[in-house]
Amino acid sequence: LVVLGIETSCDDTAAAVVRGNGEILSQVVSSQADLLARYGGVAPKMAEEAHSQVIDQVVEQALGKANLTEMDLSAVAVTIGPGLSLCLRVGVRKARKIAGKFNLSMVGVHHMEAHALVARLIERDLQFPFLALLISGGHNLLVLALDLGQYIQLGTTIDDAIGEAYDKTARWLGLDMRRGGGPALEELAQEGDAESIKFSIPMKQHKDCNFSYAGLKTQVRLAIESKKVKAEIPISSASCEDRSSRADIAASFQRVAVLHLEERCDRAIEWALKIQPSIKYLVVSGGVASNKYVRTRLNQIVKKKGLQLVCPPPSLCTDNGVMVAWTGIEHFRLGRFDPPPPANEPDDSVFDLRPRWPLGEEYAEGRSEAR
């Protein structure tokens, strides 16, 4: 079994070829971080164009590096949601073109399920059920994975995701956004005093597993104003004193952003064990899971609760084609795939895209406990 995975849901164009046994034959990512740094965010039309420009080349490279041609593939897996429909379309169109031409089955993949399931490629002992914390640019999810395609959502964000808060804070602090705000902020935070500013932990009074990062963003904004940080000057040219103020803000922000995760995970583990006492693992994935501080702190919580943490390597935490190919493999094995699309399908055909696509049912008791 050999599957090509294609991912274009947000700002990375990615493709990978993975074998049924989990062997990664190739992995290619073309990032739009440069564009984002220049324009300050994802504009759907611009992102779509960027995907369209590189998609053929990214897929070609993935096949080339794997030393395979389309004829060697068993199926094509592609992210069909959630995400920006203009962007999703680029990947889906490409996937259908290949599948149509070479008579291959297709698997439509849920982006967040892929973030979670890639952990099963890394850790072969990771069986269902398990708990997963998915932290990225657009999502903050705590889900109980009961089985393939079967999830209970224990918590989600009521406003922004943690990755969005990292990106905004990094931008406000004048950091170099070309590598992404998260990594730049993580690095600067190492120089700062995390106790210097006492930001309050979000939603302390809500005894549930939901998240909120909008309030923390506002607190950061106010701290930047009151410390008179000259964020219009890039950090590389900042004075010593200014740099150290920025580092203090970065470290204090990171500490509280992660404390919020810790508190929610602690509770989610208790909830999850009540529903499924056999749970042994907490999976942490999504772009923010590549952060070392996040990993270290969550590992402590997980150990204290007698569970084990599974966190994919950074290249599999941020958006990638491997997770899509692997999730395709998992579904394919259970016979959950679509037949090959017609060959030479017109480009403007209507595809099954799911820009808004919840991962599983909301946990009803969680809702009532929250009140």
Q: Does 8 bind ligand ATP (CB under 6 A)?
A: no
What are the tokens at 6?
Answer: 């294609």
Residue with tokens 């004193």: 241
Q: Does 5 bind ligand ATP (CB under 6 A)?
A: no
Q: Does 330 bind Fe ion (CB under 5 A)?
A: no
360 binds, among Fe ion, ligand ATP, none (CB under 5 to 8 A by kind): none
Stretch touching ligand ATP by CB under 6 A, among 23-31, 182-190, 191-199, 338-346: 182-190
Q: Does 137 bind ligand ATP (CB under 6 A)?
A: yes
**3 and 332 in contact (C-beta within 8 Å)?**
yes
- Measure CA 348 to chain center: 29
Which DSSP helix (H) or strand (E) runs through 105? strand 105-110
Which of 91, 129, 155, 163 lies at the binding interface for ligand ATP (CB under 6 A)? 163
Write down the H helix ranges in the chain: 33-39, 44-66, 85-102, 111-122, 162-172, 181-189, 214-226, 240-275, 292-304, 314-317, 321-333, 364-370
Which of 17, 288, 324, 329 lies at the binding interface for ligand ATP (CB under 6 A)? 288
Contact pattern for Fe ion over residues 126 through 155, marking x by CB under 5 A: ----------x-------------------
- The values of phi and psi at residue 214, to 5°, are -65, -40
**189 and 294 in contact (C-beta within 8 Å)?**
no
**289 and 295 in contact (C-beta within 8 Å)?**
yes
What are the tokens at 172?
Answer: 């406000």
What are the tokens at 65?
Answer: 């590096």
181 binds, among ligand ATP, Fe ion, none (CB under 5 to 8 A by kind): ligand ATP
31 binds, among ligand ATP, Fe ion, none (CB under 5 to 8 A by kind): none
What are the tokens at 223?
Answer: 């701290």
CB of 328 to ligand ATP, least distance (A): 17
Greatest Cα pair distance in the chain: 63
Nearest to ligand ATP of 108, 287 (CB atom): 287
CB of 29 to Fe ion, least distance (A): 12
Nearest to Fe ion of 113, 319 (CB atom): 319
Nearest to ligand ATP of 163, 174 (CB atom): 163
Chain residues that interact with Fe ion, rule: CB under 5 A: 136, 319
Chain residues that interact with ligand ATP, rule: CB under 6 A: 9-11, 83, 111, 136-139, 163, 166-167, 180-183, 186, 286-288, 290-291, 318-319
